[in-house]
Amino acid sequence: AMEDVSAKFVSQKISRTRWRPPPAATLQPPDIFATGSWDNEDNRISLWSAGDLGNVGLNGEYHGEPHLLCDIQHNGDVMDMQFLDQERIVVASSTGTVTIFRHHQNNQTLSANHRWEKAHHHVDQDTCCGGAACTGVVCNNPEIVTVGEDGRVNLFRADQKDAVRTIDNADSSTLHAVTFLRTTEILTVNSIGQLKIWDFRQQRNEPSQIFSLAGDRVPLHCVDRHPNQQHIVATGGQDGMLSIWDIRQGTMPVSLLNAHEAEMWEVHFHPSNPDHLFTCSEDGSLWHWDASTNVSEKPSFLHQGGKSTTYLSHSTMNQSVVSAWLSNDPTKDRMEITNLIPNQTLSVNSLDVLGPCLVYGTDAEAIYVNRQLFA
Report pLDDT digits (tens) over 269-312.
Answer: 999 999 999 999 999 999 999 988 654 444 333 333 333 444 44
Cα–Cα distance measured from residue 265 to residue 136, given in angstroms and rounded to the nearest whole number: 12
With a cut of 60, say whether residue 344 has pLDDT above it.
Answer: yes
Partners of 354 in the beta sheet? 357
Cα–Cα distance measured from residue 214 to residue 194, given in angstroms and rounded to the nearest whole number: 9
pLDDT digits 0-9 by tens, 9-45: 999 999 999 999 988 777 788 899 999 999 988 999 9
With a cut of 70, say whether residue 125 has pLDDT above it.
Answer: no
Cα–Cα distance measured from residue 9 to residue 129, given in angstroms and rounded to the nearest whole number: 38
Most confident of 49-63, 297-311, 337-351: 337-351
Cα–Cα distance measured from residue 220 to residue 110, given in angstroms and rounded to the nearest whole number: 33
Q: Are 248 and 231 in contact (CB under 8 A)?
A: yes
Most confident of 19-28, 74-83, 113-122: 74-83
pLDDT digits 0-9 by tens, 132-165: 999 999 999 999 999 999 999 999 999 899 999 9
Tell me the domain boundaries of the chain.
5-292+321-370
Q: In Å, what is the CA distance from 85 to each residue of 39, 82, 103, 213, 305?
A: 27, 9, 10, 34, 38
Average pLDDT of the segment spanning 341-358: 93
Please tell me the predicted confidence (pLDDT) of residue 315: 34
Contacts of 13 (CB under 8 A, 6+ apart): 37, 38, 39, 40, 349, 362, 363, 365
Q: What percent of the chain has pLDDT over 90?
A: 67
Average pLDDT of the segment spanning 112-116: 96
Helix (H) or strand (E) holding 344: none
Partners of 180 in the beta sheet? 186
Cα–Cα distance measured from residue 225 to residue 229, given in angstroms and rounded to the nearest whole number: 8
Tell me which residue of 277, 283, 236, 235 sits closest to 261, measured CA to CA: 283
Please tell me the predicted confidence (pLDDT) of residue 313: 34
Average pLDDT of the segment spanning 210-225: 90
Tell me which residue of 108, 3, 96 sits closest to 49, measured CA to CA: 108
pLDDT-derived band of residue 326, with 50, 70 and 90 as boundaries?
confident
Contacts of 109 (CB under 8 A, 6+ apart): 70, 72, 103
Partners of 14 in the beta sheet? 37
Contacts of 89 (CB under 8 A, 6+ apart): 18, 34, 45, 81, 82, 83, 100, 101, 103
Number of C-beta neighbours around residue 287 at 10 A = 24
Q: Nearest-5° angle of CA 50, CA 54, CA 58?
A: 115
Please tell me the predicted confidence (pLDDT) of residue 104: 97
With a cut of 70, say whether residue 332 has pLDDT above it.
Answer: no
pLDDT digits 0-9 by tens, 64-77: 789 999 999 999 99
Q: Are 211 and 195 in contact (CB under 8 A)?
A: yes
Question: Of 180 and 295, which is predicted with more confidence?
Answer: 180
Cα–Cα distance measured from residue 360 to residue 343, given in angstroms and rounded to the nearest whole number: 15
For 215, counting Cβ atoms within 10 Å of its Cβ (0-12 exposed, 13-18 middle, 19+ buried), the class is exposed
Please tell me the predicted confidence (pLDDT) of residue 221: 97
Q: What percent of the chain has pLDDT over 70?
A: 84
Please tell me the predicted confidence (pLDDT) of residue 79: 98
Q: Mean of the per-residue pLDDT values for the chain?
A: 86
The answer to whether domain 5-292+321-370 has CATH 2.60.40.10 is no
Partners of 55 in the beta sheet? none
Cα–Cα distance measured from residue 73 to residue 20, given in angstroms and rounded to the nearest whole number: 19
With a cut of 70, say whether residue 233 has pLDDT above it.
Answer: yes
Cα–Cα distance measured from residue 2 to residue 284, given in angstroms and rounded to the nearest whole number: 15
Q: Could you tell me the sign of the dihedral formed by the alpha carbons of 267, 270, 271, 275, in that order?
A: negative
Which amino acid type is present at position 291? Answer: A
Please tell me the predicted confidence (pLDDT) of residue 299: 39
With a cut of 50, say whether residue 81 has pLDDT above it.
Answer: yes
Which amino acid type is present at position 92? Answer: A
Q: Nearest-5° angle of CA 203, CA 82, CA 205?
A: 15
Cα–Cα distance measured from residue 187 to residue 196, given in angstroms and rounded to the nearest whole number: 6
Please tell me the predicted confidence (pLDDT) of residue 126: 56
Cα–Cα distance measured from residue 16 to residue 79, given in angstroms and rounded to the nearest whole number: 7
For 249, counting Cβ atoms within 10 Å of its Cβ (0-12 exposed, 13-18 middle, 19+ buried), the class is exposed
Average pLDDT of the segment spanning 167-195: 94
